[in-house]
C-alpha cells in the first residue's frame, strides 16, 4: 500500500471520528440541559407546588397552580381556534393543492412557520388588546393559534398525502360523493397522523413565551376567565428567572422542569398515536 | 417554538389534487361547497401574512415618516428625546446570529453527515431523535439554563483562556460580566442545531446512492465519497438548511433577551452586552408610553419580519430545488 493511500485512509478515519464527535457533542448538550433541569428542579417539586398559587416576593413557598391551569386554558383555546383552520387548509393542500393557489398557500405556510413569534405577539396585541384596552388570555390564545395554523396545515397535508389513492377510487366507485370520500374515507384513514401533527403543534406552542408577553401578560392570581390576564408556566419562568430572589430562581427551575415534562408528554403522545396505526412507519 | 421544517415541496412528479379527482367522478353541488370551504380556510394563510405586514406597516408609519431610512443606521435610542435608531439592534441581531452559525453549522452538518453516512444503523434513529429533541425545549428554558449554567461556565472556564489567547483582537476586549453577545450566540447555536441538522439530513438522504457508489467504485475512501460526491450534490439544499437556521436565529426572542445584556450599544467585542431586535421588542414594548416610542418598536418588528420572510423564502426555494419530489414525511419532533 502506497504512502498516499495510507494518508487517504487516515484522513477518512479522522473525518469519520470528527463527525461522530460532533454528533455526540450535540447529544451531550441535550443531556446536560435535561440533567440540570432535573438536578435543580426536581427537589422543589411537591404537592404544594402544583396546588398553591404564587406567594408575594420575599416569602418562601407557593406554587404554580394558576400557571398550570392558565397554560391549559390558553393552549387549549389556541388549539380550538387553529385546528379547524389548520386542518382545513391542510386538506385543501392535499386534495386540491396542485395548482398555483396551492403553491402559494404552501409557500406562505412555510414562511409563516419561520416568522418570529414576538412579531406575532405584537400583531395580536394590536388587534386584540389595544381595541379593548385590556390584556386577556384570549388574545394570547389568538397569538398562539396564528403560530399553530401553518404548522398544522403542513403536517395535515403530509399525512393526507400518505393515503393510498386506491382507497379514494374504491369509495368513489361505491358511489360516495367526493366530499364524503374526502372526509369519511381519506381523512379518517389519515386521522392518527393528523392527530400526531396537532399534538406536536400543541407541544410546540405550550412552551412559547414571546407571543404571550403583551397578550396574556401573566397574573399572580388564580383566574379562569379568558377575558382576564392569565399566567402560563412559560411567563412564570421568565419572571422568576429574571427576578432577583434565590427563592424565585428555585421555583423557576421547578416550573421549567414541569413545562419540559408537559412538552415531552405531548411529544411522546404524538408518537404513540401514530405508532398504533402505522407500526414501523415514521 | 415552531415545528422542525421539512423538505416537503410542491410535487410535480405525481398527479394529485384536482387533476386526479376530475378524472374519477362528476362534481355535484355539495362537492363544490366542500371545495369552497377548504379553499376559504386555506386562504387564511395568505390573508394572515398580508395582514401581518399591513398592520406592522401601519403601526410603524409614524416612525417611518419621522425618522425615514436613517432609522437603520442611527444608533441613538432615546425615549426621552424621542429620537430612535435601530442600528445597535440590527448589529446585535446579525452579530449574535453570525456567532450562532459559526458554532452551529459544523455541529449540525457533522450530525447530518454522521447520521446519513457513517452511523451504525441502530444508532441512527435514537441519535436523530435526541438531536431533534433540542428543538422541543422551550426558548424560555434555554434562557433559564443560559443565565444560571452557561454564563457561570463561560465566566470560569471559557472566557479566561479565550482572553489569554485572543484578548488582543477587537473581538474579545473588555471585562466580561456575563450577559453578552457571546452568551447569546452560544445559546442561539444550541437552539438552531436541530433545525439545520434535520433539514441537512433530509437533503443528504435525498442524494441518490448512485453518487456514493460511483465515488467508492472509483476508489474513493468513504470520506472522499462524502466530500467529493455527496456534499457537492446536496450543496444548494445544505445552504438552504443553514439559511433556514439563520432565519430562526434572527427572530429568536426569549433565550437571547435573557442572556445578551440588552444594551443599546455597538461593540465589536463578543464579551460585551448587546441587543437584538426581538429582545428590544420583548423588553421595551410594555414600557413604551408614547406613541412614537411604540411606533419605533413596531418599525423594529417590521424590519425583523421583512428580513425573516426574505431569509425563509430564499431558504425554501434553495431546499425545494434539491429535494423536489422527494417523498419526505413530517419529521417534526
* Chain A closest-CA separation from residue B212 CA (Å): 14
CB B144 within 8 A of CB A256: yes
* Chain A closest-CA separation from residue B170 CA (Å): 29
Q: Under an 8 A CB cutoff, do A114 and B2 touch?
A: yes
When pLDDT is cut at 50, 70 and 90, the band that residue A277 belongs to is low
Beta bridge partners of B78: B83
Question: What pLDDT, on a 0 to 100 scale, did the predictor assign at position A175?
Answer: 87
Within 8 A of A146 by CB-CB distance, chain B residues are 48
Quote the mean pLDDT of chain B. 89
When pLDDT is cut at 50, 70 and 90, the band that residue B6 belongs to is low
Written as one string, the DSSP assignment of A26-71 is HHHHHHHHHHHHHHHHGGG-SHHHHHPPPPPTT------HHHHHHH
Q: Under an 8 A CB cutoff, do A112 and B45 touch?
A: yes
Q: What are the helix and strand counts (H, E) for chain B?
A: 15, 2
Q: Calculate what percentage of chain B has a pLDDT beyond 70.
A: 89
Question: What pLDDT, on a 0 to 100 scale, did the predictor assign at position B123?
Answer: 93
Chain B stretch 248-287, residues whose beta carbon is closer than 8 A to a beta carbon of chain A: 248, 250-254, 258, 278, 281-282, 285-286
When pLDDT is cut at 50, 70 and 90, the band that residue B13 belongs to is very low
Helix or strand or coil: residue B325? coil
When pLDDT is cut at 50, 70 and 90, the band that residue B2 belongs to is very low
When pLDDT is cut at 50, 70 and 90, the band that residue B320 belongs to is confident
Examine the pLDDT at B5 and tell me if it is beyond 80. no
Residue from B327, B241, B312, B189 nearest A150 by CA: B312
Which chain A residue is nearest to residue B124, measuring alpha carbons?
Answer: A23
> How far is residue B281 from each of residues B216, B261, B301, measured CA to CA in Å?
53, 14, 7
CB B185 within 8 A of CB B96: yes
Name residue, grid cell 384536482: B18
Examine the pLDDT at B93 and tell me if it is beyond 90. yes
**Interface probe with B: pick from A1, A2, A33, most Cβ of B within 10 Å:** A33
Of B107, B226, B282, the CB nearest to A25: B107
Q: Around Cβ A282, how many Cβ atoms within 10 Å?
A: 13
Helix or strand or coil: residue B330? coil
Which chain B residue is nearest to residue A94, measuring alpha carbons?
Answer: B17
Within 8 A of B305 by CB-CB distance, chain A residues are 115-116, 119
Whether B218 has its CB under 8 Å from any CB of chain A: the answer is: no
When pLDDT is cut at 50, 70 and 90, the band that residue B325 belongs to is very low
* pTM summary value: 0.92
Residue B29 or residue B201, greater confidence: B201
Q: What is the mean pLDDT of residues B32-60?
A: 96
Which chain A residue is nearest to residue B300, measuring alpha carbons?
Answer: A119
Helix or strand or coil: residue B77? strand
Which chain B residue is nearest to residue A193, measuring alpha carbons?
Answer: B330
Examine the pLDDT at B268 and tell me if it is beyond 60. yes
pLDDT tens figures, A165-180: 899 889 989 988 889 9
Residue from A155, A147, A173, A168 nearest A74 by CA: A147
Residue B14 or residue A196, greater confidence: A196
Within 8 A of B254 by CB-CB distance, chain A residues are 209-210, 234, 238
Beta bridge partners of B84: B77
Question: What pLDDT, on a 0 to 100 scale, did the predictor assign at position B333?
Answer: 28
Q: What is the mean pLDDT of residues B37-63?
A: 97
Helix or strand or coil: residue A161? helix
Report the C-alpha gap between B290 and B331 in whole angstroms: 45
When pLDDT is cut at 50, 70 and 90, the band that residue B326 belongs to is very low
Examine the pLDDT at B20 and tell me if it is beyond 60. no
Sign of CA dihedral B135, B140, B143, B145: negative
Quote the mean pLDDT of chain A. 92
Q: Calculate what percentage of chain A has a pLDDT beyond 70.
A: 97
Report the C-alpha gap between B86 and B70 in whole angstroms: 9
Q: Under an 8 A CB cutoff, do A209 and B253 touch?
A: yes
Whether B113 has its CB under 8 Å from any CB of chain A: the answer is: yes
Please determine, for the modelled complex, whether the ipTM score is greater than 0.90.
Answer: yes
Within 8 A of A214 by CB-CB distance, chain B residues are 285-286
Angle between helices A246-278 and A3-41 (to 10 degrees): 120
Amino acid at each position: 500500500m502506497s504512502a498516499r493511500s495510507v494518508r487517504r485512509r487516515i484522513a477518512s478515519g479522522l473525518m469519520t471520528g470528527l463527525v461522530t464527535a460532533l454528533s455526540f457533542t450535540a447529544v451531550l448538550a441535550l443531556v446536560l440541559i435535561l440533567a440540570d433541569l432535573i438536578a435543580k428542579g426536581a427537589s422543589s417539586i411537591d404537592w404544594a407546588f402544583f396546588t398553591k398559587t404564587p406567594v408575594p416576593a420575599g416569602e418562601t413557598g407557593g406554587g404554580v397552580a394558576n400557571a398550570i391551569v392558565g397554560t391549559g386554558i390558553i393552549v387549549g383555546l389556541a388549539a380550538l381556534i387553529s385546528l379547524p383552520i389548520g386542518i382545513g387548509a391542510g386538506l385543501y393542500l392535499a386534495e386540491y393543492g396542485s395548482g398555483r393557489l396551492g403553491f402559494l398557500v404552501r409557500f406562505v405556510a412555510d414562511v409563516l412557520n419561520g416568522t418570529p413569534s414576538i412579531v406575532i405577539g405584537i400583531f395580536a396585541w394590536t388587534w386584540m388588546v389595544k381595541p379593548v384596552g385590556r390584556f386577556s388570555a384570549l388574545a394570547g390564545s389568538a397569538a398562539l393559534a396564528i403560530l399553530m395554523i401553518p404548522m398544522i396545515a403542513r403536517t395535515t397535508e403530509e399525512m393526507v398525502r400518505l393515503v393510498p389513492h386506491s382507497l379514494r377510487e374504491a369509495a368513489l366507485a361505491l358511489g360516495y360523493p367526493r366530499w364524503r370520500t374526502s372526509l369519511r374515507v381519506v381523512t379518517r384513514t389519515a386521522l392518527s397522523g393528523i392527530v400526531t401533527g396537532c399534538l406536536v403543534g400543541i407541544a410546540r406552542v405550550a412552551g412559547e413565551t414571546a407571543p404571550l408577553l403583551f397578550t396574556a401578560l401573566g397574573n399572580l392570581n388564580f383566574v379562569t376567565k379568558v377575558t382576564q390576564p392569565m399566567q402560563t408556566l412559560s411567563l412564570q419562568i421568565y419572571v422568576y428567572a429574571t427576578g432577583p430572589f434565590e427563592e424565585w430562581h428555585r421555583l423557576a427551575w421547578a416550573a421549567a422542569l414541569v413545562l419540559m415534562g408537559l412538552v415531552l408528554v405531548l411529544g411522546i403522545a404524538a408518537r404513540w398515536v401514530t405508532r398504533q396505526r402505522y407500526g414501523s412507519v415514521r | 417554538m415552531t415545528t422542525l421544517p421539512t423538505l416537503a415541496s410542491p410535487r410535480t412528479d405525481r398527479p394529485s389534487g384536482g387533476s386526479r379527482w376530475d378524472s374519477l367522478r362528476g362534481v355535484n353541488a355539495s362537492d363544490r361547497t366542500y371545495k369552497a370551504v377548504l379553499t376559504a380556510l386555506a386562504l387564511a394563510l395568505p390573508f394572515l401574512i398580508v395582514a401581518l405586514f399591513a398592520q406592522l406597516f401601519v403601526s410603524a408609519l409614524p416612525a417611518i415618516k419621522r425618522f425615514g431610512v436613517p432609522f437603520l443606521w442611527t444608533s441613538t435610542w432615546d425615549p426621552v428625546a424621542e429620537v430612535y435608531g435601530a442600528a445597535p439592534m440590527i448589529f446585535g441581531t446579525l452579530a449574535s446570529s453570525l456567532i450562532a452559525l459559526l458554532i452551529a453549522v459544523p455541529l449540525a452538518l457533522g450530525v447530518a453527515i454522521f447520521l446519513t453516512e457513517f452511523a451504525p444503523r441502530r444508532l441512527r434513529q435514537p441519535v436523530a431523535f435526541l438531536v431533534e429533541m433540542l428543538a422541543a425545549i422551550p426558548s424560555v428554558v434555554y434562557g433559564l439554563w443560559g443565565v444560571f449554567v452557561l454564563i457561570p461556565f463561560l465566566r470560569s472556564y471559557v472566557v479566561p483562556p479565550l482572553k489569554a489567547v485572543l484578548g488582543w483582537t477587537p473581538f474579545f476586549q473588555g471585562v466580561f460580566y456575563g450577559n453578552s453577545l457571546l452568551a447569546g450566540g452560544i445559546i442561539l447555536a444550541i437552539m438552531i442545531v436541530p433545525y439545520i441538522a434535520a433539514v441537512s439530513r433530509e437533503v443528504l438522504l435525498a442524494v441518490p446512492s448512485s453518487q456514493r457508489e460511483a465515488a467508492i467504485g472509483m476508489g474513493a475512501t468513504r470520506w472522499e465519497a462524502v466530500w467529493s460526491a455527496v456534499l457537492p450534490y446536496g450543496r444548494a439544499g445544505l445552504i438552504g438548511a443553514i439559511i433556514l437556521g439563520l432565519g430562526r436565529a434572527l427572530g429568536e426572542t426569549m433565550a437571547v433577551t435573557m442572556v445578551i445584556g440588552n444594551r443599546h450599544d455597538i461593540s465589536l467585542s463578543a464579551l460585551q452586552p448587546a441587543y437584538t431586535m426581538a429582545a428590544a421588542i420583548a423588553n421595551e414594548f410594555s414600557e413604551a408610553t408614547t406613541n412614537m416610542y411604540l411606533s419605533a418598536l413596531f418599525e423594529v418588528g417590521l424590519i425583523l419580519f421583512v428580513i425573516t420572510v426574505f431569509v425563509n423564502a430564499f431558504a425554501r426555494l434553495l431546499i425545494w430545488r434539491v429535494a423536489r419530489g422527494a417523498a419526505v414525511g413530517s419529521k417534526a419532533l
